[in-house]
Amino acid sequence: MHEIDTVEVRSRQRKQLTWDEWDTLDTLKKQAKDNEHVPMGSPENALKRAVEHIFERESVVKGHKILAEALNRQLGFINLDDLRGCMERAKKSIVQLTRDINPDIS
């Protein structure tokens, strides 16, 4: 498809969408805009992105792995104490199977 540009590709793709698919696409766009209120460098954003990334690949993880992923994604923009506080507040939406033996590294 070297003979057409990106605009033409998108136009052709959009013409193939059903009304239900358009509604779904519109809903996804609105959800993405709703999530924009969480600023870059916020512990909430870092935690959300880390959880999404890790749980795409695993179903059970240790807390320190989530913290490490969040810190790596936002290196220099957030600190560990703020991230731990955010994680503590988020525990109501995380199923915790056991308590960490050493809570200083969870």
Which among 50, 88, 94 is positioned nearest to 69, based on CA atoms? 50
d(CA 78, CA 72): 10
The model's pLDDT over 48-72, given as tens digits with 9 standing for 90+, comes to 888 888 888 888 888 889 889 988 8
Q: Which amino acid is at 12?
A: R
pLDDT score of 101 more than 70 = no
44: left (phi over 0), alpha (psi -120 to 50) or beta: alpha
pLDDT tens-digit series, residues 75-95: 778 888 988 888 888 776 666
pLDDT at 99: 61
